[in-house]
């Protein structure tokens, strides 16, 4: 298949979902699929680059004011034009921000099937936003953010989330489309202990 992966955070940004998307793209490529990644630029303007064996299309982006190591793209027309050129069989979207929303809009205009993977639980990131205010204001932000995430996800053909709990929460907040839990996965070649822990007992004098 010819797959476009659209993400608002991507390697080398040090964010959990950026590594999950990177590993997914590499895995799909290794299985013989043609994969292109849409992501924000780290600096400068639109350009293409190779990261490993993947072609990454970088789109002009600005820093998020409250998180200087995160950039989000602002060029929806460029995303649409790139989709027209690539003509993917499917578009896999990982964030509901400007690249993700531009890719979703473009895919729908071009009648390309879409999958959205939701990596976001509002309770996990709203606390990092500035000027939290009262708990009542926090509750209002929470309701708004859930509505935004679920409204975005309901525009896809199919939705995944890393855990069944995450899928259930999306359902509780109004998700209507088909959805399934798909783990982000673990690199067993890297995270496969070949010792039984005895060395730790010896190192720390544990009986």
Give the integer Cα–Cα distance in Å for 19 and 144.
Answer: 27
pLDDT at residue 133, rounded to an integer: 66
Closest listed residue to residue 116, CA positions, set 102, 125, 104 = 104
- What does residue 144 show for φ and ψ, rounded to 5 degrees? -60, -45
Residue 181 has pLDDT above 80, yes or no: yes
Q: What is the CATH number of the domain that holds 119?
A: 3.40.50.2000
Give percent of the chain above pLDDT 90: 52
Provide the residue range defining the domain that includes 94: 2-203
State pLDDT tens for residues 61-103: 665 554 555 555 566 778 999 999 999 999 999 999 889 999 9
How many structural domains is the chain composed of?
Answer: 1
Give the integer Cα–Cα distance in Å for 69 and 65.
Answer: 10
Cα separation values, 12 from 48, 96, 127, 198, Å:
15, 20, 24, 35
């Amino acid at each position: 298949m010819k797959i476009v992966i659209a993400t608002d955070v991507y390697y080398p940004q040090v964010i959990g979902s950026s590594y999950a998307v990177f590993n997914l793209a590499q895995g799909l490529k290794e299985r013989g699929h043609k994969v292109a990644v849409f992501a924000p630029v780290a600096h400068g303007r639109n350009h293409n680059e190779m990261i490993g064996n993947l072609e990454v299309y970088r789109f002009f982006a600005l820093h998020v004011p409250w998180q200087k190591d995160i950039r989000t793209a602002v060029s929806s027309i460029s995303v649409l034009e790139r989709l027209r050129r690539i003509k993917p069989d499917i578009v896999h979207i990982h964030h509901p921000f400007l690249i993700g929303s531009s890719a979703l809009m473009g895919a729908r205009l071009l009648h390309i099937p879409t999958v959205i993977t939701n990596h976001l639980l509002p309770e996990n990131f709203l606390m990092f936003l500035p000027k939290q205010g009262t708990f009542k204001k926090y509750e209002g932000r929470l309701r708004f953010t859930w509505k935004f995430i679920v409204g975005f996800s309901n525009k896809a053909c199919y939705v995944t989330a890393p855990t069944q709990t995450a899928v259930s929460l999306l359902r509780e907040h109004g998700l209507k489309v088909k959805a399934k839990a798909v783990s982000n996965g673990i690199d067993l070649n890297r995270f496969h202990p070949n010792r039984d822990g005895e060395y730790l007992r010896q190192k720390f004098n544990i009986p």
